[in-house]
Structure 1
Amino acid sequence: MEQQFWQTTILDFFIALGVVLGGVALGGLGAFLTNDYPTERMLRLAEQLKIWAMVAALGGTFDTIRAIEVNVLGGQLGQAGQQLAFIVSSFIGAHIGVLFIRWFFQGEI
């Protein structure tokens, strides 16, 4: 059971990170092809994709929020804590993706 928790936590982190980095890379390619400024577009896309990266990593936020509600009302706080850990893990993954893009293009975090 504990192994599955860590697997899910790590997967959520990397899925969110991958959604941000992949979306920014392909968005930058699209900006280049449409004669837009790729750097500016990629920086904006990184911020805009952050919440969607979390949603993708969690498989839909309503399921996670519903699981927290059911577990808290059912007195299973450990299960609710696990769901919160999944949310935090996906947020950290998405945020690190944004920080990486900022660092790469602006040289600052």
Structure 2
Amino acid sequence: MDGFMTKAAFSFFIAFGVVVGAALLAGIGSVLLMTPPKVKMVQVAENLKIWAIVAAVGGTIDPIRVIESNVTEGYLTPAMHQVGYIMFAFLGAHMGTELVLWMCRSGG
């Protein structure tokens, strides 16, 4: 179980970092290009959510193959681990997006 929680935490933080990092860099780019940074940051955070999940779980179709092959052979634990990694990655991406939305709402 320890290995699962470690990988799940990494999935969460990778997805969170992709969203927040990309939104912050988009905000910096907007300032340099003299466009409203809040609008671009929110747009980037919302558009990158799914890609952050993909990056966090490996960037390929392999997690889906693991789920499919293990379920068809009757092994549910590895399949549930993959679903858990995807859920933790989604949670990280969603929390990153919410943080960006919160930062852009507050502060005038």
Tell me which stretches of 4 or more aligned residues in structure 1 moved more than 2 Å: none
Aligned residue-pair number: 106
- The offset of 1:11, in angstroms, is 0.4
Q: Distance between the aligned counterparts of 1:40 and 1:95, measured in 2? A: 18
After TM superposition, give the deviation of residue 61 of structure 1 in Å: 4.1
Matching residue's letter, 1:9: A
Partner of 2:41: 42
Separation in 2 of the partners of 1:15 and 1:25? 15
State the distance in 2 between where 1:91 and 1:80 align: 17
Note the C-alpha offset of 1:26: 0.6
Give the equivalent residue in structure 1 for 2:11: 12
Partner of 1:90: 89
Q: Which runs of 5+ in 1 are unaligned?
A: none
The DSSP-based 3-state class of the residue aligned with 2:34 is: coil
Identity fraction in percent: 43
TM normalised by structure 1 equals 0.93
1:16-36, Cα deviation, whole Å (9 max, x unpaired): 000011000111111111111
| Equivalent AA in structure 1 for residue 104 of structure 2 | F
